[in-house]
Copies of this chain bind each other. A is one copy, B any other.
Amino acid sequence: MSNIHAVVLNCSLKPSNETSNTQALIDESLKIFEKEKVSYEIVRLVDYNIKYGITDDAGEGDEWPEIFNKVKAADILIIGTPLWLREKSSIAALAIERLYGGSSLTNEKGQSIYYNKVGGTVITGNEDGAKNAAKSILYALSHVGFTVPPNVDPYWVGDAGPGDSYIEAGGDEHEFTQNNIETMSYNLIHFARLLKEHPIPAEGNTME
């Protein structure tokens, strides 16, 4: 069976020397990747100097091209984000702009460079908005060329209003969220394998 590689963009507003609840939920998915021999890499975007602009390379000092190379080499892309005011983080918005900036690049068949890649999202917040953020992220991925398998939007949120976040609340024992993490992880793997063996035919979907 082909080797599958996953890249996770953690769009936390906190740098990697601080604890990220989103990372804690992502880690549950990575356990399954390990069990299934899927290699992976995690990128904490806030650690990088990512410039603004709808381009795959914003020039001097822009560290997105390094991240973009990882995305190009990946079969699976997961965007992990916290929720603020029911939305994905501004860094997730930035990542999507930069992915969009590379969407006119093509593979050797003339399709979007994101064809045959599979996307999902992992979301944590303490109150509300996970599905709002998920729809925004998954739609963007689909719109630029990723395939979106069923049920790739696991999340954890607490009840209405401020409260404990995922780690403090013991979210790793929340059965609904854990089931959804498992479903996402397997569906990403199933589709990555499927598309690796049977790439999308270059008919009706090339960019001229």
Contact = CB atoms under 8 A, between A and B. Distances in A.
A85 B92 CA distance: 13
Interface string A123-155: 000011111101110111011111111111101
Contacts of A146: 150
Nearest to A206: B183
A162 to B, nearest CB: 7
Query: In which size bucket is the chain A interface?
Result: 35 or more
A112 B204 contact: no
Given A97-B90, A185-B204, A130 B128 contact: yes
Nearest to A161: B176
A100 B84 contact: yes
Contacts of A152: 142
A136 B112 CA distance: 23
A40 to B, nearest CB: 16
A200 interface: yes
A120 to B, nearest CB: 10
A131 B132 contact: yes
Given A94-B90, A100-B84, A153-B142, A186 B203 contact: yes
Interface in A177-195: 177, 180, 182-183, 185-187, 190-191, 194
Given A53-B13, A132-B86, A150-B145, A198 B194 contact: yes
A89 interface: yes
Nearest to A112: B150
B138 A136 contact: no
A64 interface: no
A32 interface: yes
A205 interface: yes
B204 A177 contact: no
Contact of A148 (B147, B182, B194): B147
- Identify the 10 closest CB pairs spanning chains A and B, nearest first: A186-B204, A161-B176, A135-B139, A86-B131, A90-B93, A132-B132, A90-B94, A148-B148, A93-B93, A13-B52
